[in-house]
Chain A
Amino acid sequence: MTDANKKFLVGVYDDDDVALAAVTKVKNAGVKIYEVYSPFAIHGMDTAIGHPRTRIGIAAFCFGVTGFLCALTLTTWTMGVDWPMVIGGKDPISLPNYVPAMFELTVLFTAFGMTIAFFITNGLGPSVKPLLFDSRCTDNKFVMAIDLSKIKCQKLEITTLIKASGAEEVSIKQI
């Protein structure tokens, strides 16, 4: 993460429904939410915060097409061009027979390409230090972080707002 030395207001919620409702409340009050951290996926949370829809599906499709074209090239070139062979009286290039290999390679490329893209876009990697505002967010708490440098109104005002939205703890953390 590049947001070094920033002050964040951190609200800790103990229920997913409360956290989801709080996001809408805080957003309606005109406060921009940096991110919400939760121990499991909460449906609708990303749209409630206002994150754009993920485009990883497009990446997956591109990897799939790449895999398919590679497989098509591999099978037809090896069987039909480089060393043409007639097997079982069929044409050297008999596409229906290559469907299994082409299918498997398409799946392989899509799955690996997409998952690697997933790790890269999320900034995840073996030596990455996690940005944790509260370590309980991987256990049973729902943590809302607000970047104070991007907020115009008073700290006290937001603290009251966050508390009113159902947070059980509110604190300021420097990351």
Chain B
Amino acid sequence: MHVTSPVRNPLVTGGKTYADVTEDICRQVEGKPSKEWKAAFLLSFIVLLYGTCCVLWTWWEGLGVWGLNKTVGWAWDITNFVWWVGIGHAGTLISAILLLFRQKWRTSINRAAEAMTIFAVICAASFIVMHMGRPWLAYWALPLPNTFGSLWVNFNSPLVWDVFAISTYFSVSCLFWYVGLVPDLATIRDRAQNKISKYIYGTLAMGWNGSARTWARYEYISLILAGLSTPLVLSVHTIVSMDFATSVIPGWHTTIFPPYFVAGAIFSGFAMVQNLMLVTRVVYKLEDYITVEHIEMMNKIITLTGSIVGVAYLTEFFIAWYSGVEFESYAFINRATGPYWWAYWAMMTCNVISPQLFWSKSIRQSVKWTFFISVIVNIGMWFERFVIIVTSLHRDYIPSSWAMFSPTMFDIGDYIFSFGLFFTCFFLFSKYLPVINMAEVKGVIKSTSEKLPKKVSGVSKADRLASPVYKKDVE
């Protein structure tokens, strides 16, 4: 039975039928890559190549090529790591938390957002490996019996928790994403015109045929995966924040970090989803699937999480003063008025003020404004991590060791590497896999509004005869 709400607008506009959904989404996968896609892919691939050279040089020469010094021992590496992990959080929020809350609007964006999560976590992990300096020894972080004695990794350390959190998060996200892809891969398999794509998509679809038994189990495990991913995603950024919070550095040693980091992660993640989806929907002509309503919903989440972040900044500042600890107060006053004041105020403007513009309905519904503010938010969130990491470190307990951090071309090049990697992956995804979860969209197409036409299934006979896919069946 379908329950419809009289007040809601349809989630999918344009009177789409089930066949239209298949057609609209599969078109990109089945067609030849467009010129724009080739150009964009080539550009990101060149960026990736340049970045790879920088990363290889970093490994060859050592971390001395970065601008780190003995006071500021963490800078862009960990900033970038936290930034990318944070971006990844939106995908899981959309696919898991919104599933638990039965938010049907997630269906149009969850596939791309989850893909974004996976690629963002890969980028984040690349910084972890990079900052080890000797990446060939990365396996030392795993609890393996070793040949140097029976010393194990320290399970009391948040850095080891991070190893477990990030690797579990990455693998479970991949799993969740893949399970969701299987029905759509089967759709592509059954439409495939040539043997190669039939073989590839057929192998990936694992023989899915959409039987009621399979669907029932699919729904069941999706729910459990969502239930698992929800605490998982919260644990990941909580643990990332504990990398800082369990230390004794003024500015890091605060109990507010876990919720504050999680809110910031969702904040920047949604901004990145907006940036990606606003472009994808125009290029792939998916305006009927990712409607202004979807954009508005995401903007509301950006405003909410942005406000939580803003409150956290103020709370942190207040507590630093209220604690009466001289070093704590100094760390915060130095952030706002010291030599890195510009980073602090960039963060405040971008993260606290800019999302408040979304209280205006016309800004919230404007595609251009949304894109612009989302970029601003992402810049702001990068500065947030930079402020937390660098400004807390650069003025040590002993004034003689006070220092500034200035990035070298390898700090910048390694950051560029992550962009190249991210966009190369995203462009490959958007060409070879369906960017929208067809099966889930078909499932909500009828049930979201009574403003819809009664009959959404079926195509006219003329259409069916004209379409090459149906010709086979008619013959």
Q: Hey, which bits of chain A sit against chain B, CB under 8 A? A: 14-17, 35-46, 49, 51, 54, 56-57, 60, 74-75, 78-79, 82-83, 85, 87-88, 90, 94, 97-98, 100-101, 103-105, 107-108, 110-112, 114-115, 118-119, 121-132, 134-140
* A-binding segment of B223-231, B273-281, B331-339: B223-231
Excluding A138-B209, A140-B17, A140-B458, 8 further A-B contacts by CB distance (< 8 Å) are A39-B183, A43-B1, A46-B215, A107-B232, A114-B221, A115-B179, A130-B207, A139-B190
Decide: B221 and A40 in contact? CB cutoff 8 A: no
* Contact yes or no, B155 A79, CB < 8 A: yes
- Please name all residues of chain B whose beta carbon is closer than 8 Å to the beta carbon of A114 when the two chains form the complex: 221, 224-225
Complex: chain B residue closest to A85, CB-CB: B154
A82 to chain B, nearest CB (A): 6
Query: Which residues of A sit under 8 angstroms from B214, Cβ to Cβ?
Result: 122, 124
Known contacts A118-B179, A122-B213; decide if A104 and B168 are in contact (CB<8 Å). yes
Query: Which residues of chain B have C-beta atoms less than 8 A from A138's C-beta?
Result: 183, 186-187, 189-190, 208-210
Given contacts A40-B443, A115-B175, A118-B179, contact A124 B164 (CB under 8 A): no
Size bracket, chain B contacts: 35 or more
Contact of A54 with B168 at beta-carbon distance under 8 Å, contacts A41-B439, A101-B161 already known? no
Given A16-B457, A132-B209, A140-B457, decide whether A44 and B155 contact each other with a Cβ distance below 8 A: no
Q: Indicate whether B53 reaches chain A with its CB closer than 8 angstroms.
A: no
Query: What does the 1/0 interface line of B137-157 toward A look like (CB < 8 Å)?
Result: 000000100000111111110
A-B contact pairs, 28 of them (CB 8 A): A39-B18, A39-B187, A39-B442, A40-B183, A45-B212, A46-B216, A51-B216, A54-B213, A57-B224, A60-B221, A60-B224, A78-B152, A83-B152, A88-B156, A98-B155, A100-B164, A103-B231, A105-B164, A110-B228, A111-B172, A111-B175, A112-B175, A124-B214, A128-B207, A131-B207, A136-B473, A138-B183, A138-B186
CA distance A135 to B421 in the complex (A): 37
Question: Is chain B's binding surface mostly helix, strand, loop or mixed?
Answer: helix
Q: From B21, which residue of chain A is reached at the shortest CB distance?
A: A140
Interchain residue pairs A-B with the least CB separation, the first 4: A128-B207, A140-B18, A46-B216, A78-B152
B window 214-271: CB within 8 A of A? 214-221, 224-225, 228, 231-232, 235, 239
- Chain B residues positioned under 8 Å from A44 (CB to CB): 1
Provide the bound-state CA to CA distance between A11 and B240, in Å. Answer: 54
Point out the residue from A35, A56, A111 that lies within 8 Å of B211, measured CB to CB. Answer: A35
User: CB distance B212 to A51 under 8 Å?
Assistant: yes
How far is it, in angstroms, between the C-alpha of A100 and the C-alpha of B1 when the chains are bound?
42
Asked whether, in the complex, the Cβ of B209 is within 8 Å of the Cβ of A100, the reply is no
Assess whether A107 is in contact with B455, with CB atoms less than 8 Å apart.
no
The CA-CA distance from A83 to B154 in the complex, in Å, is 11
Q: Which residues of B contact A98 (CB under 8 A)?
A: 155
Whether the Cβ atoms of B143 and A78 lie closer than 8 Å is yes
Chain A residue contacts of B459, Cβ below 8 A? 140
* Residues of chain B with a CB closer than 8 A to A14's CB: 457-458
Which residue from B152, B171, B209 sits with its C-beta under 8 Å from A108? B171
A85 proximity list for chain B (CB < 8 A): 154
Q: How far is the CA of A108 from the CA of B211 in the complex (A)?
A: 28
Q: Once the chains bind, are A54 and B216 in contact (CB under 8 Å)?
A: yes
**CB <8 Å contact, A41 and B219:** yes
CB of A118 within 8 A of CB of B216, answer: no
Looking at the assembled complex, report how far the CB atom of A29 sits from the nearest CB atom of chain B, in whole angstroms. Answer: 19
| Residues on A with beta carbons closer than 8 Å to the beta carbon of B179 | 115, 118
Contact check, B217 vs A122: say whether CB atoms are below 8 A apart: yes
In the complex, what residues of B have CB within 8 A of residue A125's CB?
Answer: 206-207
Residue in B187, B218, B239, B455 whose beta carbon sits within 8 Å of that of A118 in the complex = B218
Residue in B closest to A115 when the chains form the complex, CB atoms: B175
Smallest beta-carbon distance B234→chain A, Å:
11
Contacting residues, chain A, for B225 (C-beta < 8 A): 111, 114-115
Contact between chains at A54 and B217 (CB < 8 Å): yes
If A78-B143, A87-B154, A115-B179 touch, whether A37 touches B210 (CB-CB below 8 Å) is yes
Q: In the complex the two chains form, what is the Cα distance from A74 to B145 in whole Å?
A: 11
Q: How far, in Å, is B271 (CB) from chain A's closest CB?
A: 27
CB distance from A87 to the nearest CB of B (A): 5
B168 touches A107 (CB 8 A): yes
A56 and B221 CA atoms in complex are apart in Å by 8
A42 CB contacts on chain B under 8 angstroms: 212, 215, 443
Residues of B within 8 A of A88 (CB): 156
Known contacts A101-B161, A111-B175; A36 and B211 CB within 8 A of each other: yes
For the complex formed, measure the closest distance between the CB of A61 and the CB atoms of chain B, giving whole angstroms. 9
> In the complex the two chains form, is B212's CB within 8 Å of A135's CB?
no
Assuming the contacts A78-B152, A140-B457, asked whether A135 and B175 have C-beta atoms less than 8 A apart, the reply is no
Interface assignment of B193: CB less than 8 Å from any CB of chain A: no
Is the Cβ of B156 less than 8 Å from the Cβ of A15? no
What is the CB-to-nearest-CB distance from A80 to chain B, in angstroms, rounded to a whole number?
Answer: 10
A54 touches B473 (CB 8 A): no
Residue of A nearest to B443 (CB): A40
State A38–B159 Cα separation when bound (angstroms).
46
